[in-house]
Amino acid sequence: MSIISYIRTIADYPKKGVLFRDISTLFLDPRGLRKAIDGLVMRYSGAGIDKIAVIEARGFLVGAPLAYTLGCGLVLIRKKGKLPGSTIGEDYALEYGTDRIEMHDDTIVAGEKILLVDDLLATGGSALAAIRLIEKNGAEVYETAFLVDLPDLGGSKKLKASGYSVFTLCEFE
């Protein structure tokens, strides 16, 4: 079965007219979870990635098993106020409002090769804010990787136009 068949679509969530692509069903099925993580492992083994940066909350689910398997560090990018140490932050626009993400200021070192991972790419607002955080510390974004792309929302186009490489396991038109 393809990755796409493990993802459930829920109409009118979080508001009327939205078709919400729900990855909880992919994580519920061990075959879906294995297929997704193996797809990323295949792409990035041997790539020399220093750290994987993940965006709260669903991105953590994808990045942690990938970092464990590849043997690299995991950088947690969290919603504002969640990290206990000294942080840097970035505001961004979401499909459904605005928010702020933060990262501990000592987790990424200049020159490191960072893979940015999240579950889903929609408008690209979260990914671009995360990239700004990573680059503030002088690190290189090697690639951005997602389980799902929603190309109609323009995120992949925006990221590519800004010069970033985008890898996705599936897309919903």
**Burial bucket for residue 117 (CB in 10 Å: 0-12, 13-18, 19+):** buried
Q: Which of the choices ligand HPA, ligand PRP, none does residue 20 contact, using the CB cut-off of 5 to 8 A by kind? A: ligand HPA
Catalytic residue among 56, 95, 143, 171: 95
Name the 3-class secondary structure at 169: strand
DSSP β-bridge partners for residue 95: none
**Residues in contact with ligand PRP, shown as a per-residue x/- string from 111 to 130 under the rule CB under 6 A:** -------xxxxxxxxxx---
CB-nearer residue toward ligand PRP: 12 or 106: 12
For the bound state, the minimum distance from the C-beta of residue 40 to ligand HPA, rounded and expressed in Å, comes to 18
CB-nearer residue toward ligand HPA: 35 or 58: 58
CB-nearer residue toward ligand HPA: 112 or 119: 119
Q: Which of the choices ligand HPA, ligand PRP, none does residue 112 contact, using the CB cut-off of 5 to 8 A by kind? A: none
For the bound state, the minimum distance from the C-beta of residue 109 to ligand PRP, rounded and expressed in Å, comes to 24
HEC-encoded secondary structure of 98-117: EEEEEEECCCCCCCCEEEEE
* Beta strand segments in the chain, E: 8-11, 19-22, 51-55, 73-79, 87-94, 97-104, 113-121, 140-149, 166-171
CB-nearer residue toward ligand HPA: 21 or 51: 21
User: Does residue 21 have an active-site annotation?
Assistant: no
The dihedral sign for the CA sequence 136, 99, 65, 34:
negative
Omega before 14 cis (within 30°)? yes
User: Does residue 58 have an active-site annotation?
Assistant: yes
For the bound state, the minimum distance from the C-beta of residue 98 to ligand PRP, rounded and expressed in Å, comes to 11
Q: Does 105 bind ligand PRP (CB under 6 A)?
A: no
Give the C-alpha separation, 167 to 92, whole Å: 22
Give the C-alpha separation, 45 to 82, whole Å: 31
- Residues in contact with ligand PRP by CB under 6 A are 55-59, 94-95, 118-127, 155
Residues annotated catalytic, as ranges: 58, 95
